[in-house]
Chain A
Amino acid sequence: MALDKPYKDVPGTTIFDSEMARKGYHLNQFCMSLMKAENRARFKADERAYLSEWPMSEEQRQAVLDRDYNAMLALGGNIYFLAKIFSSDGKSFQYAAALMTGMSEEDYKAMMVSGGRSPDGNRYIGEGT
């Protein structure tokens, strides 16, 4: 019997469940490796070579090289693991969040200061469109 996944209809959101954790295992463990300064230096020196040491899919590697965080999420990345990549780049959570929403960092910050994104119209896929 299939597992119950009632969160599948939440728009713009990927829940890091068992399916995604299995899919993204090597991608996330690669991210963890960036917690060490020496690994960060090796990654920075030759990103593609460093990525080739990890048994990730080519799609996952390309998403990392492109810093396409939405693609990484879809390929099993978890945001707290992916944070190791943008931290290595000297970028903040807010930078990454803005990027994933397609907004400029400035517009995103302004949205947060004025109270954030409303849940209205953002609860169900297809709602209000």
Chain B
Amino acid sequence: MARITAGIGASHVPLIGRAIDTGDTQSDYWKPLFDGFDFTKKWIAEEKPDVIFLVYNDHATAFSLDMVPTFAIGCAEEFAPADEGFGARPVPMVEGAPDLAWHVAQSVIQQDFDLTIVNKMDVDHGLTVPLSLMYGQPKKWPVKVIPFAVNVVVYPTPSGRRCYNLGKAIRNAVESFDEDLNVQIWGTGGMSHQLQGPRAGLINQEWDKRFLDRLADKPEELADIAHVEYIRETGSEGIEMVMWLVMRGALGDNVTELHRHYHVPASNTAVGHIILESQS
């Protein structure tokens, strides 16, 4: 049986990818940020997950306004790193896990979440930056990935509650897959940041830390946070935190927090990172 053993939360700022790609991770600006991922790199090398169910958002890369799926699951054999306007990141192709992805699609849709099935999609920094943070710069990613894109660009995005419940449905789906697989789920994006308008640069460290404090044991409280609170308290792009709730929902009731890191800033953004192990 496949099982979801752990979850990772991590921000996915494009400039983090650039720092890795250009070998700039040890500068004064970046070192404190990357130091917080040393533990994770060692941990994941021991855990050796077979598949990452990677919850992220597309930033007007694969999806223009032609189509805006609320939840899209990548079922392809592979996904190319996208050219986001200045050439694709020099990172390996992302290998999919189509058998599990199709299984999850069928199961989750039968649990009343209407997913969009995507068979052709380039993946942007939202997906590749977290992979680089956890795995560094390998020639080939040592893991298969199911890209799961959540719309957080065109408002309204799905609610935190819906994302949390979707996570539960994903857990059911993975656990009903026959192959013996170690699956991790990652929730990416956030934490507080605003990229637009005269209020750009907003960071709310206190709010972010309270979110991290409650993620393991009080996810129900977090699932109740309204869109407008994210916008008001954490900046317009802080709404990305709903993607962490998909991850949390997929870990079951009992989780143990293994590692946490928080750093301000990466460019315009507060970077949060957490590892939660599923106990149930």
Contacts and interface: CB of A to CB of B under 8 A. Distances in A.
A119 interface: yes
Interface in A85-105: 87-88, 92-94, 96-98, 100-102
Interface string A1-29: 00000110011111111100100010011
B1 interface: no
B231 interface: yes
A16 B236 CA distance: 10
| Centre residue among B84, B201, B227, B264 by max chain A CB count within 10 A | B201
Contacts of B200: 12, 97-98, 100-101, 117
B198 A70 contact: yes
| Centre residue among B14, B83, B204, B207 by max chain A CB count within 10 A | B204
Contacts, number: 148
B119 interface: no
A61 interface: no
B83 A116 contact: no
Interface in A102-116: 102, 108, 111-113, 115-116
Given A7-B227, A29-B65, A83-B60, A112 B14 contact: no
Given A73-B197, A78-B60, A123 B233 contact: yes
Contacts of A113: 265
Given A25-B65, A102-B198, A13 B231 contact: yes
B195 interface: yes
A68 B204 CA distance: 27
Interface of A: 6-7, 10-18, 21, 25, 28-29, 31-32, 34-35, 69-70, 73, 78-81, 83-84, 87-88, 92-94, 96-98, 100-102, 108, 111-113, 115-119, 122-124
A119 B202 contact: yes
B196 A14 contact: yes
- 9 smallest beta-carbon distances between A and B, as pairs: A116-B203, A12-B199, A12-B198, A87-B85, A80-B60, A97-B200, A79-B196, A17-B155, A117-B201
A15 to B, nearest CB: 5
Interface string B12-41: 001100000000000000000000000000
A73 B194 CA distance: 13
Contact of B232 (A10, A69, A112): A10
B208 to A, nearest CB: 11
Contacts of A21: 65, 154
A6 B85 contact: no
| Centre residue among A14, A18, A116 by max chain B CB count within 10 A | A116
B201 A13 contact: no
B232 A7 contact: yes
Nearest to A6: B228
A94 to B, nearest CB: 5
A10 B231 contact: yes
Contact of A28 (B60, B85, B205): B60
B64 interface: yes
A33 to B, nearest CB: 9
A117 B199 contact: yes
Contacts of A7: 227-228, 231-232
B199 to A, nearest CB: 3
Contacts of A96: 195
B268 A11 contact: no
Given A21-B65, A34-B85, A87-B84, A14 B197 contact: yes
A79 to B, nearest CB: 4
A98 B195 CA distance: 9
28 contacts: A10-B228, A12-B198, A13-B197, A14-B196, A14-B197, A14-B236, A25-B65, A29-B66, A32-B64, A35-B84, A73-B196, A78-B153, A80-B59, A80-B153, A83-B60, A84-B85, A87-B86, A94-B267, A101-B201, A115-B205, A116-B201, A116-B264, A117-B199, A118-B203, A118-B204, A119-B202, A119-B207, A124-B232
